[in-house]
Structure 1
Amino acid sequence: MGQAHSTTDNDKVPQSDVPRIPHTDLPRIPQSVGPRIFDTVLLNDELEWLEIRMNELDKVVDVFVVIESEQTFQRGYKPLYFQQASREKTFARFMDRVLYIVVPNITEAEEARNLKIGGNGSWAIEAYLRNKGVQMALQTFQPSPGDWVLHSDVDEIPRASALAKIKASSSSPEDENNPLLQTRHAESRKGPVLAQFQLAPAGVDPNSDEPIELDYRDMRVLNKPLWEDWPNVGIRLRGYSYKDNGPNLVEDACWHCSWCFSNISYVYSKAASYAHAEHSAAVYMNNTWIIKHFRQGKDLFDRNEIYNYDGKPINVPKFIVDHPDRFAYLTNRYKVPNAGFLDVPENSVHF
């Protein structure tokens, strides 16, 4: 599949015209039997997590939509990492199902509009990149009645079992519009897991494997609001607008490993790139602080989030289980001198 190009903005697209854009030069996504699932993610540089995600969802996702830009949320420059990685063996077997969207840098006019949506500075750029990326994706693959569209960050990974049940439960859609699944940051109601898979939110049984019950009728509440608010489709789909609250949350349907990086350099990269610009402060972004917090299982920014050490990996994506040596840093950070960071020699840590 090809790379997307910029399209002309239109803040008031008639519902009958969404998402049909006849002049696009991108290939159409072929129809398939039964509902299709489109997994759309916004990529910074988390290629390893993209690999984990694609392998987890390999058998249930019909099209992987990778959205990328040369601009970070904090207005910095970044290479188009997936443009290069797409030519490598790691992603070769997925490429016939990948739609790669490159979002152009934000213009002054677009920033002014998105300031009203996402807030100041980095949040406005995040709103723009999500909205523009999802718009370009929808204009390309043109979802059909019964299809599902997910949007989340790369490290917010739905369980394949949950999506398989979604497909099974939505084989006969009741609504003529396209049902879009809102992932709410792709976090389960048990809460996120940060830094490693040995930590679980306090009060949670990490070994729980309760079945996921899906009711299709409760998971189709976002159809019309999304089409009616086309300019904000990206942030609405991801769940930033709480007026979309409804009975469409699925318990224990995903993992969220927010700072689960193999190299400490990726920690610095994320802090300098994502919308929480306050997290790039020197008090947080130094090796001593980062390693101590990772080793002790503490929140990196000392927020009121409490985690328990489980002593063994908890319920992790199968690709991690199948490659224990490669992903040892995800399951063995606790009290390890270098917190498992591959680019920090153990003998260099003296605290």
Structure 2
Amino acid sequence: MMVDGGTYSCKKTDKTLHGICKDTGLDCLDMSNIRAISRSLHIKALLLWLIIVPTCVLGIFFYGQKVSSFFRPLWDTPPKSFNVITHYYAENVSMEHLCDIHGWKIRDTPRRVFDAILFSNEVDMLTIRWQELNPVVTKFVILESNTTFTGLPKPLNFAINRKQYKFAEPKLKYRIYAPSLPTSLGQNPFYEEAIQRVELDKLIREAGILEDDLLIMSDLDEIPSAHTINILRWCDNIPPVLHLQLREYMYSFEFPMSYDSWRAQVHLYKPGKTRYGHFRQADVLFSEAGWHCSFCFRHIRDFVFKMKAYSHVDRVRFSYFLDHARLQDIICRGADLFDMLPEEYTFQKIIAKMGPIPHFLSAVHLPSYLIDNADKFRYLLPGGCVREN
């Protein structure tokens, strides 16, 4: 600045600042104090970043999956709604009337039915499934691999326990699948799953399936009811591809979750066109057509095996998730094995399904073989949550 008899200076000194403050009557800080405050602010900002960044990283590591799931309605859209076909059934009603009430026509003879599955370690659920479907199925087609989808070696559980399936032996088409190239840990599990479904598709053709035969495509624990398949094999004019709405359970039939299971499906087989899959292939859904019992195992070790072996192995974020005592506690409470939030497309449904699944003490409308052998399968019924170690 220019002063009388002086020279121009661009430097603002503490003395100059005090003069200005005195002339204006302002309460000012000197430059040294300003520098000290500036340094203090820099240090606080640095400390803040040192706290915030690690906290955010840890938060994402431990809770990122939950945050992502909770805000799913903001970044994901629900699939197209199904056209739902009302399912009519009651005991002692004629098949002709059942076909007619669905808008279909009864056939002179029933279609042949092929039930095709991949097998891992669900020994008891396979018994319940085949006993339920045995009266209406022509051929049971089953493929078993010596590795899991995640590349882990596994015993041939069906071959080991084959004797207990003698009732299905005359209808059985079984093959062991061994990958031509060794699978590796860390591989994409969905890729290996797709390969095994292609191999199952080949086995179905070898089993002798023909055009217009009925083909059931589902995971082993997705069990269509016998009366559902009976209606579809006896009625004409049914949709060529029909998804099945199954009541969904977790750990046992004590914990019903919803009717949101739809991946099970039935096809009128078309040579050269029908391909085995576990994805949406039509827009038609046949209501209340069976049961889907996820993680319904007798032994805790089987829970651990599936958690490490199936396609969603990425959900096992921490090793303590596999602790036997933790798993037993979660099974009896109906809580989530992977400590996840519900996978839904609306906040209303997410909030409604948060927390453990409520206990349901009814055992009505379940597979008949399960009820006939209630003592053997007590762990699958209400009040039987304790598993064998």
Deviation at 1:46, TM superposition (A): 1.1
SS of equivalent to 1:325 = coil
Residue 74 of structure 1 is matched in structure 2 by 150
Asked if residue 319 in structure 1 is aligned to residue 364 in structure 2, the reply is no
SS of equivalent to 2:304 = helix
**Contact 2:141–2:207 (8 Å) recurs in 1:** no
| Paired AA for residue 320 in structure 1 | L
Residue 321 of structure 2 is matched in structure 1 by 284
> Matched residues in 2 for 1:70 and 1:166: separation?
34
Asked if residue 330 in structure 1 is aligned to residue 380 in structure 2, the reply is yes
> Cα deviations across residues 47-85 of structure 1 (Å, max 9, x unaligned)?
111111111111011111111111110111112222232
> Matched residues in 2 for 1:73 and 1:42: separation?
11
> Matched residues in 1 for 2:148 and 2:180: separation?
10
Deviation at 1:93, TM superposition (A): 2.0
**Contact 1:198–1:314 (8 Å) recurs in 2:** no
Residue 84 of structure 1 is matched in structure 2 by 160
Q: Which has the higher strand share?
A: 2
Unpaired segments of 5 or more residues in structure 1? 1-32, 112-118, 205-217, 344-351
**Contact 1:135–1:234 (8 Å) recurs in 2:** no
Q: Give the one of 46, 49, 58 matched to 2:134.
A: 58
Q: 1:310 to 1:246 in 2, by over 3 A?
A: same
Q: Give the one of 241, 246, 251 matched to 2:283.
A: 246
RMSD: 2.9
> Matched residues in 1 for 2:223 and 2:145: separation?
21
Residue 5 of structure 1 is matched in structure 2 by none
> Matched residues in 1 for 2:161 and 2:269: separation?
34
> Cα deviations across residues 243-282 of structure 1 (Å, max 9, x unaligned)?
x2322x2111111111111110110111121111123441
> Matched residues in 2 for 1:256 and 1:262: separation?
16
> Matched residues in 2 for 1:296 and 1:319: separation?
26
1:103-252 map, 5 Å: 103-105=177-179, 107=181, 121-138=188-205, 140-170=206-236, 181=241, 183=243, 187-188=245-246, 190=247, 192-201=248-257, 227-228=272-273, 233-235=275-277, 238-239=278-279, 242=280, 244-247=281-284, 249-252=285-288
Deviation at 1:155, TM superposition (A): 1.1
Q: 1:271 to 1:103 in 2, by over 3 A?
A: same
> Cα deviations across residues 98-139 of structure 1 (Å, max 9, x unaligned)?
00022231538xx9xxxxxxx96111101111111222222x
> Matched residues in 1 for 2:138 and 2:208: separation?
13
**Contact 2:211–2:269 (8 Å) recurs in 1:** no
Q: 1:323 to 1:48 in 2, by over 3 A?
A: same
Q: 1:342 to 1:173 in 2, by over 3 A?
A: closer
> Matched residues in 2 for 1:257 and 1:219: separation?
19
> Matched residues in 1 for 2:180 and 2:335: separation?
36
Q: 1:308 to 1:256 in 2, by over 3 A?
A: same
**Contact 1:38–1:64 (8 Å) recurs in 2:** yes
Q: Give the one of 169, 172, 176 matched to 1:95.
A: 169
SS of equivalent to 1:78 = coil
**Contact 1:194–1:299 (8 Å) recurs in 2:** no
**Contact 1:68–1:103 (8 Å) recurs in 2:** yes
Residue 265 of structure 1 is matched in structure 2 by 301
TM-score (norm 2): 0.61
| Paired AA for residue 327 in structure 1 | F
How many corresponding residue pairs?
261
> Matched residues in 2 for 1:38 and 1:287: separation?
38
**Contact 1:73–1:274 (8 Å) recurs in 2:** yes
Deviation at 1:187, TM superposition (A): 4.9
SS of equivalent to 2:315 = helix
Q: Point out the structure with max Rg over C-alpha.
A: 2
Deviation at 1:303, TM superposition (A): 3.1
Residue 340 of structure 1 is matched in structure 2 by 386
| Paired AA for residue 200 in structure 1 | P
Q: Report sequence identity in percent.
A: 24
> Matched residues in 1 for 2:177 and 2:242: separation?
22
> Matched residues in 2 for 1:159 and 1:321: separation?
14
Deviation at 1:234, TM superposition (A): 2.8
SS of equivalent to 2:217 = strand
Runs of 4+ more than 6 Å apart: none
Q: 1:263 to 1:142 in 2, by over 3 A?
A: same
**Contact 1:127–1:234 (8 Å) recurs in 2:** no
